[in-house]
A and B are shown apart, each in its own frame.
Chain A
């Protein structure tokens, strides 16, 4: 479980009349689930409590800007927005929710969005939105443990971009960042549901292909090559693979083997 810290502390003042809200927050926090769906649940609960036909909570978040959530996850349109404005707060139809409770709901929703964003950032690489090193390590540990215990096979693929330093030096870091972003997207489009793609270093990536014993890896690499060919800046890459449990069931050893195979390929390519 990834421990998150709130990016934007929220002053949460709850009165006894909103204890249901407080209990819900504690409950979701303890299950590491405080997030966007909590906002919809709070609106549902409020809707039931007061018999609301409509409700929109608007919260301000530094990195996402203003965000509006509507009762029942219904879509918001410009016409409704023009009536309610987009200042932070809670709009209800009919307007019968006491001001204190409206404010408490808004703050709770702000807390939920901030927590979700913090959790997302703790697990994902900031540039590519794929998993970061920390969550990759955790996923590899879990996959290796399952492989050791039940014999479930998986393939670890490590990927290194070729000549990435030259791109950075030639075109600048902005283009370099864009190359990484595009590559991250290509990875996300190439993996199957349930696989894990991560950026584990500057221009180093890794993928865990679950239930794959080697042959699936070549299919994945083909898909990745096809995806990267459509990118604006086409980059070549080198891969190294290790298969668990055949090669090892130790995460560090699997990484070492995959890395060694990658460097071996690179060595052959360079000579």
Chain B
């Protein structure tokens, strides 16, 4: 049972540099037995001694456990959770775009016979869904615009749950890649949230 005192203990520990998570384990008599901290990117020794001191102010007998999630793990998590473009091809004869994406070590494939622009965006959404990611957006528009002698692509997606639109803009090698990148750009914030594929 978390008391107001324990809440304050947890808040004080969470205020220490690098502390990302605090877990309090209670004993049989509802006394605080173990406090576990997950710490990242901090001066561990200083955080450890401060945490010990704070814990002793509240509970002298409790054990402090500090787990370190170093930056390498965080970087790995970032890399793994990022959707990467593996391949984007256009069959000029049929106008079919084929997009291959990777996420968390898995590969997803999407096709669309609507040319490099619309087809690129459509195939990207299909590839994301093939990865098992629920994408609650539909394609609203794809436009290639002139910008300083270049032709970036703007993709607009509409949420299937509300009227909100998301826009992305990107410039890649060719219309197809620009369209794929722009679609992912539009979904950037959505994909950055810690949602795992179903």
Q: Which chain A residues have a beta carbon within 8 Å of chain B's beta carbons?
A: 33, 35-37, 40, 56, 58, 63-70, 73-79, 81-91, 93-95, 99-100, 102, 116-117, 120, 129, 185, 188-189
Contacts of A79 in B (CB 8 A): 73
Q: Tell whether, in the assembled complex, residue B194 and residue A35 are in contact, meaning their CB atoms are under 8 Å apart.
A: no
Interface centre among A33, A76, A185 (most CB of B within 10 A): A76
Q: Which chain B residues have a beta carbon within 8 Å of chain A's beta carbons?
A: 2, 4, 7-8, 10-12, 14-15, 18-21, 23-25, 36, 38, 40, 53, 56-57, 65, 67-70, 73-74, 76-78, 80-81, 134, 136, 161, 192-198
Q: Tell which of A64, A95, A116 touches B196, judged by Cβ atoms closer than 8 Å.
A: A95
Contacts of A69 in B (CB 8 A): 21
Q: Tell whether, in the assembled complex, residue A75 and residue B10 are in contact, meaning their CB atoms are under 8 Å apart.
A: no
Contacts of B40 in A (CB 8 A): 81, 86
Q: How far is the CA of A69 from the CA of B194 in the complex (A)?
A: 14
**Chain B residue, CB-CB nearest to A77:** B67
Q: A40-B2, A70-B23, A188-B57 are in contact. Are A75 and B67 (CB under 8 A)?
A: yes
Q: Tell which of A36, A75, A81, A87 touches B2, judged by Cβ atoms closer than 8 Å.
A: A36
Q: Tell whether, in the assembled complex, residue A36 and residue B77 are in contact, meaning their CB atoms are under 8 Å apart.
A: no
Q: List 27 A-B contacts (CB under 8 A).
A: A35-B11, A37-B2, A37-B7, A56-B194, A64-B15, A65-B20, A68-B38, A70-B21, A74-B23, A75-B38, A75-B67, A77-B69, A78-B68, A78-B70, A81-B73, A82-B74, A82-B80, A83-B77, A84-B77, A85-B194, A86-B20, A86-B77, A87-B192, A91-B194, A91-B196, A99-B134, A99-B136
Chain A interface mostly = mixed
Q: Tell whether, in the assembled complex, residue A89 and residue B194 are in contact, meaning their CB atoms are under 8 Å apart.
A: yes
B27 to chain A, nearest CB (A): 14
Q: Tell whether, in the assembled complex, residue A68 and residue B20 are in contact, meaning their CB atoms are under 8 Å apart.
A: yes
